[in-house]
Amino acid sequence: MKDYTITVLGCGVMGSAITSAILKSKFEPYPKKMFLCTAEPETLAKQFGDEPIVQLSSCVEDNRKAVKEADVIILGLKPFMYEEVYEQVKDSLTGDQLIISLMAGVTIKELSIFSKYVAKVMTNTPARYGCGTAAISFAPAVTKEQQDLVNKLIEPIGLTVTIPEKNMDIATSLIGSGPAFCLLMMESMIDGAVRMGMSYDVARLSAAKVMEGTAKMLIETGDHPAALKSKVCTPGGTTIGGLLKMEDGALRSTIARGIEEAANISASFAKK
């Protein structure tokens, strides 16, 4: 696919994160034009107004025109809005357009009203900084060429993995909600350090760097987290004492159950 046009319907937090990552990268084939459809064009104008390939759209009629020109449509809508938006733009759909959905809880089958060529993507907010994670599921009709294009469009955000759609609710929890879970743990670490007398600024930066470094160590070694954790624990030392105190509060099972609960909530969206 060459000289193609992308239309982003619902360019909110995740839509703008994907857009930002695409605009900051270079790959072939690169889009010749991007329409960003949003209810708040002033906000996007500040972020993307100087980009030569970007055009902003806010009214329904402009959105219809943007969809009609599109070869690729990125759905960054709230899940409850997709049917309403479909009704607004359905006459502009060609049936051959590639659909990339960023919505949680909306199945590939449900998205097939837009096109049979559907890629369902779950990513997260760190995508804006090029260090996000994205899980991708493809409809059976999606061609190898289309799959390659989706990967090229999404890879600028960070890591991409391909998974079966049945695992997408898990990805919604682990990947989509994961940053909030990590931030809660980070906030707790900062609070503990501040409680003991460290300044907030030093504690904040240190906790963030500890999380970053630990993640890098896990990825590069390929070791199980338990194996790496045991290397930090010396007999009678501070680390094992702190870990046991955390286990007294059922920290491990609470985090695991949090992942489970978020995945179940994601699955419930598709049942409504």
* pLDDT range class, residue 187, cuts 50, 70, 90: very high
What is the per-residue pLDDT for 247? Answer: 96
> How many CA atoms lie within 13 Å of 230's alpha carbon, on the beta-carbon side?
5
Name the DSSP letter for residue 10.
Answer: S
* pLDDT range class, residue 271, cuts 50, 70, 90: low
Query: Any idea where the domains of the chain sit in the sequence?
Result: 5-168, 177-270
The verdict on whether residue 233 carries a ligand-binding annotation is: no
Q: Does pLDDT of 219 surpass 80?
A: yes
Residue 34: beta bridge partners? 6, 54
Spell out the residues 6+ positions from residue 138 whose beta carbon is closer than 8 angstroms to its own.
Answer: 118, 119, 120, 147, 150, 162
Burial of 238 (0-12, 13-18, 19+ CB in 10 A): exposed
pTM here? 0.87
Query: From CA 96, how far away is CA 24, in angstroms rounded?
Result: 28
What is the per-residue pLDDT for 192? Answer: 98
Rg (CA), the chain: 21
Q: Does pLDDT of 272 surpass 60?
A: no
Q: Does pLDDT of 216 surpass 90?
A: yes
The verdict on whether residue 149 carries a ligand-binding annotation is: no
For residue 29, cis peptide bond before it (omega within 30 degrees of 0): yes
The verdict on whether residue 38 carries a ligand-binding annotation is: yes
Query: From CA 102, how far away is CA 19, in angstroms rounded?
Result: 12
Residue 124 tokens, joined: 């997260």
The verdict on whether residue 63 carries a ligand-binding annotation is: yes
The verdict on whether residue 11 carries a ligand-binding annotation is: yes
What is the fold of 5-168?
Answer: Rossmann fold (3.40.50)
Across all residues in the chain, what is the average pLDDT?
92
The verdict on whether residue 217 carries a ligand-binding annotation is: no
The verdict on whether residue 105 carries a ligand-binding annotation is: no
So what's the architecture of 177-270 in CATH? Answer: Orthogonal Bundle (1.10)
What is the per-residue pLDDT for 232? Answer: 97
Distance of CA 271 to the CA centre of its chain: 22
The verdict on whether residue 131 carries a ligand-binding annotation is: no
Residue 139: beta bridge partners? none
HEC profile for 75-93?
ECCCHHHHHHHHHHHHHHC
Of the segments 130-134, 252-256, 268-272, which one has the largest average pLDDT value?
Answer: 252-256
| Residue 161 · residue 134 · CB < 8 Å | yes
The 10s digit of each residue's pLDDT in 99-129 is: 999 988 889 999 999 999 999 999 998 988 8
Query: From CA 268, how far away is CA 35, in angstroms rounded?
Result: 32
What is the per-residue pLDDT for 61? Answer: 86
Query: From CA 83, how far away is CA 272, in angstroms rounded?
Result: 13
Region 31-43: mean pLDDT is: 85
* pLDDT range class, residue 270, cuts 50, 70, 90: low
The 10s digit of each residue's pLDDT in 42-68 is: 778 887 878 889 888 877 888 899 999
> How many CA atoms lie within 13 Å of 206's alpha carbon, on the beta-carbon side?
13
Query: From CA 102, how far away is CA 123, in angstroms rounded?
Result: 7
The 10s digit of each residue's pLDDT in 128-182 is: 888 999 999 999 999 999 999 999 999 999 999 999 999 999 999 999 999 999 9
